[in-house]
């Protein structure tokens, strides 16, 4: 089944309002370079609305050519959860996507597979496309535990989803040792884990559903290494950190997945 590649920029906690709007406009203007690829921007939550306005995603009659996503959300619909935002709030601000279970949240904030799974269900119920992140730490890779760690994360973070729900999820494989380090996984290392993830998805849903699920690679993706990653059969896009903070390089990455 042909899969539409998806390249998302995870801006993390970077930029100010003015720079966020300027970057969003520049990506929107150059988006034609990556025709046929889903391009998504994930700004800090306080800038989601401004970025949405800059790329026109808040007008439902005009399907935005650039998608809008958040970097996190809470799993409950409302209530006493100081500092958190709900899935419905993100939809209200024009989001179509949300990154969940990023390793920075797992490592720095103690997010567990159980919490990620609960957030995935809440996101899907609100109509958001979750981008669910998994990936091993350096010590785990060196100990030969990559497959075991990733399998546990995939099974845990996607627990309890029906095949129909799984079909709507995007998975991002982000080896933690490759994030922000300039050390990209080799195409062979990435493909190996992507194939593992697809086989797990086939078990959780069915081979047919798994064949349609997009699996992104993330971790030091740059314009210069995107093409060799894009050439791998199970790599369907990229989740880009540092290189997404500059329009030209980000669009070049997206174009590599055409």
Q: Which residues bind ligand 13P (CB under 6 A)?
A: 10, 102, 174, 179-180, 218-221, 239-243
- Shortest distance (Å) from residue 60 CB to ligand 13P: 28
Q: Could you confirm whether 188 is annotated as catalytic? A: no
- Closest CB to ligand 13P belongs to which residue? 241
- Shortest distance (Å) from residue 176 CB to ligand 13P: 9
CA of 30: how far to CAs of 60, 73, 185, 193, in Å?
A: 22, 29, 28, 32
Residue 59 three-state SS: coil
User: Which is closer to ligand 13P, CB of 94 or CB of 218?
Assistant: 218
User: Which is closer to ligand 13P, CB of 102 or CB of 198?
Assistant: 102
Q: Could you confirm whether 102 is annotated as catalytic? A: yes
CA 167 to centroid of chain Cα atoms: 15
User: Which is closer to ligand 13P, CB of 52 or CB of 242?
Assistant: 242
Q: What sections of 71-221 are H helices per DSSP?
A: 87-92, 103-109, 113-125, 138-142, 146-157, 163-166, 187-204, 207-212
- Shortest distance (Å) from residue 88 CB to ligand 13P: 24
The residue from 49, 102, 136, 142 that is catalytic is: 102
How many Å apart are CA 112 and CA 92, to the nearest integer?
Answer: 27
- Shortest distance (Å) from residue 235 CB to ligand 13P: 14
Catalytic residue numbers? 102, 174
């Amino acid at each position: 089944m042909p899969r539409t590649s998806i390249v998302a920029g995870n801006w993390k906690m970077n930029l100010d309002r003015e720079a966020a709007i300027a970057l969003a406009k520049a990506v929107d203007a150059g988006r034609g370079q990556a025709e046929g690829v889903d391009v998504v921007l994930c700004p800090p939550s306080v800038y989601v609305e401004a970025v949405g306005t800059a790329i026109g995603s808040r007008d439902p009659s005009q399907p935005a050519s650039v998608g809008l996503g958040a970097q996190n959300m809470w799993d409950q619909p409302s209530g006493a959860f100081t500092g958190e935002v709900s899935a419905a709030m993100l939809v209200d601000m024009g989001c179509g996507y949300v990154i969940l279970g990023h390793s920075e949240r797992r490592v720095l904030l103690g997010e567990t597979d159980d919490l990620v799974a609960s957030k995935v269900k809440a996101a899907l119920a609100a109509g958001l496309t979750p981008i669910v992140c998994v990936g091993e730490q350096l010590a785990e890779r060196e100990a030969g535990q990559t497959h075991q760690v990733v399998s546990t994360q995939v099974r845990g973070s996607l627990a309890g989803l029906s095949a129909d729900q799984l079909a709507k999820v995007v998975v991002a494989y982000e080896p933690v040792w490759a994030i922000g380090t300039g050390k990209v996984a080799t195409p062979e290392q990435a493909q190996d884990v992507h194939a593992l993830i697809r086989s797990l998805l086939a078990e959780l849903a069915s081979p047919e559903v798994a064949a349609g699920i997009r699996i992104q690679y993330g971790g030091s993706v740059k314009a210069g290494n995107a093409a060799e990653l894009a050439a791998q059969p199970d790599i369907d896009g990229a989740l880009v950190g540092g290189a997404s903070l500059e329009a030209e390089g980000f669009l070049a990455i997206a174009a590599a997945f055409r």
